[in-house]
Structure 1
Amino acid sequence: MRVYRLFHPAADNDTSKMLIDVVSYSCINYSFLLIPIYLIETNKIFDSHPFLYYLFYLLVLVIIPVLL
């Protein structure tokens, strides 16, 4: 939400409304990524390729939410 606010500044909103927005946005983000997360975790990628595992979660937690 902070990244979005950098590009689209607005007046200060009520904190409770912002909290609902953040939670709902996170749910939408994880619903898009549910299948890739499931596949990464069930195939034990961490044991065979730890760097790719961490890169994937960097994408999931930081890069993809910013792009969306």
Structure 2
Amino acid sequence: LHSRRSEGSKGDVAIDQLEFLDCALPQPTPGEACPAGMFECHHRGCVSQLQVCDASDDCGDGKDEERCDFY
């Protein structure tokens, strides 16, 4: 992380060389559903039920945000 203070009260921050590791959603065991407390996405990944209808596409395919009219 690198930052440089400019004149006044505002400053700049630059972030470079980010590396994302193990970012894939957990997959259910073939032939089984997602574990209890998890929601199954269209592409068979699993996200927490707490991430359903939270205004963020956690599945990456939009399924967790499809039927949110009742929330």
Normalising by structure 2, report the TM-score.
0.22
Q: Which has the larger radius of gyration?
A: 2
Structure with the largest fraction of strand: 2
Structure with the largest fraction of helix: 1
Normalising by structure 1, report the TM-score.
0.22
